Structure 1
Amino acid sequence: MDHMEALQVCTMTHSFRKTSRGFTLLELLVALAVTSAVVALMFAGVGVIGRSEERNQRVIERSERMLVVSQWLGRKFDTLRLLSRRDENIFVNFFSGNAAGAIWVAPLPERGDAGGLYVFRMSPLRHADGRVDLSVEAVPYDGALMALDWGKALRETLLSDVRTLQWHYQDGLTGQWTQQWDSAKAQYPARIRVEIADARGDWPPLVFPLARAR
């Protein structure tokens, strides 16, 4: 009897140990599965955060480009000089524009001691690979009889990889907008609107009032 009880107890103990080992393995597998899922979620979260940061950085850089272009043009149009130049036998306004860009006179204090009045020309710069940049050229203004030698101009790229570039000029008398402003007109435009698009789409229109032209 004692032998049978001992055998029974031994069998139960052995069975219990087997069961205990089975539950421990199952718990380990579950823990590993949960850990793997958590790690996967963490990496996925890091990827989402990384992509979000990249998108945010691109948005910030694009906004900065818009601000730089807008502020630069704004300063140059705010200080536009109402000057005339001789064109053959007549004097015309030192301002003209079309759908691609404009020409006007304004100071260039960024040049320091070499600053003073400059004739600016904004126009698209087309590359052999099809890319288009918004380019600014400047030559020193030396009076109404000056010859515009753009071969000696200072050149800078104001904006790279432009997809759309349209200039508009508002007649202060009629309020109408046009894409052609001839230097022979009796007055300057009241406002200038520049429409730009880059690889990510259209910019908000840039509108500049010409206070000195009123």
Structure 2
Amino acid sequence: MRPHEALARRADASGFTLIELLVALALMGMAASLLLAGLRMAGLVAMRAQTTASGLDDVIAAQRVLRTGIERLWPVARLDTAKPVIEFRGNDAMLSYVAPPFDRDAPDALQRFQLLRTATGDIVLYRVSTRKVGIDARGYDLAGWTPTTLLRGTRGLSISYRGVPASGGARAWLNRWWDRASPPELIRIHVEFAPADSRQWPDLLVRPRVATSTCLPDRAGGCGAEP
């Protein structure tokens, strides 16, 4: 074999080895990318599972339902009182108001809602259409109302209201807002769980998006003209 032919063969062999090295590096890079993507997905799945196991999803869903309803509440005037008051009553253990229906119920008339905690520790939101007859509109008797359980196994429910006391004075957090001409400026809802329960409830603060004036219910069960 001539010297220049041997040199050419060695060069060809060297070039082929370099190509193999580049292909191997590319494959290793692709494998590393797939591995990182798999680890990232596994981390997200684990985080989701931990969130679900801790009940955080239930807390988020409950707060979303309450915030949406309370923010959209309507100051519907009560027609059975001598002074102008709205259909809004609340104390530290119960909240009753009028708001548009859930999206799944729309289109429909305004609905009455009542939030309370049952003796078994469930946080339940009751609702009924304002057009439905034969029910207790005050909510003392909830027969005929539709219950939606927001949370189960709670240890306590506490509701407070920000505004001027009925007797006058400076704004403060009150444990009762009853038969007033307007809703409170802020509503704070606190839920407690047992010490062994991993769920946590950040205090829910909601500002109703309504004017202070009241409105009269119309024939369609909505909010008509102001009195």
Tell me the TM-score range normalised by the shorter chain: 0.5 to 0.7
1:154-165 aligned at under 5 Å gives the runs 154-165=146-157
* Structure 1 position 187, deviation (Å): 2.4
User: 67, 83, 88: which one pairs with 1:95?
Assistant: 88
Task: Give the number of the structure whose residues are more often helix, by fraction.
Answer: 1
When the two structures are superposed, what TM-score results if normalisation uses the length of structure 1? Answer: 0.63
* Structure 1 position 92, deviation (Å): 2.2
Give the equivalent residue in structure 2 for 1:76.
69
Give the equivalent residue in structure 2 for 1:118.
111
Q: Aligned pair 1:180/2:176, yes or no?
A: yes
What stretches of structure 1 of length at least 5 have no aligned partner? 1-52
Q: Which ranges of 4 or more aligned residues in structure 1 deviate by more than 6 Å? A: none
* Structure 1 position 60, deviation (Å): 3.8
Output the CA distance in 2 between the equivalents of 1:197 and 1:141: 32
Output the CA distance in 1 between the equivalents of 2:149 and 2:199: 20
What is the root-mean-square deviation in Å for CA atoms of aligned residues? 2.8
Q: Aligned pair 1:63/2:56, yes or no?
A: yes
SS for the counterpart of 2:66 is helix
Task: Give the number of the structure whose residues are more often strand, by fraction.
Answer: 1
Q: Evaluate the alpha carbon distance shift between residue 111 and residue 96 of structure 1 in structure 2; reply closer, same or farther with a 3 A threshold.
A: same
Greater C-alpha Rg:
1
Percent identity between the aligned chains? Answer: 22
- Per mean C-alpha deviation after superposition, the further-off stretch among 96-105 and 146-155 is 146-155
Give the equivalent residue in structure 1 for 2:160.
168
Paired residues, what number?
155
Amino acid at match of 1:208: V
User: 104, 127, 131: which one pairs with 1:138?
Assistant: 127
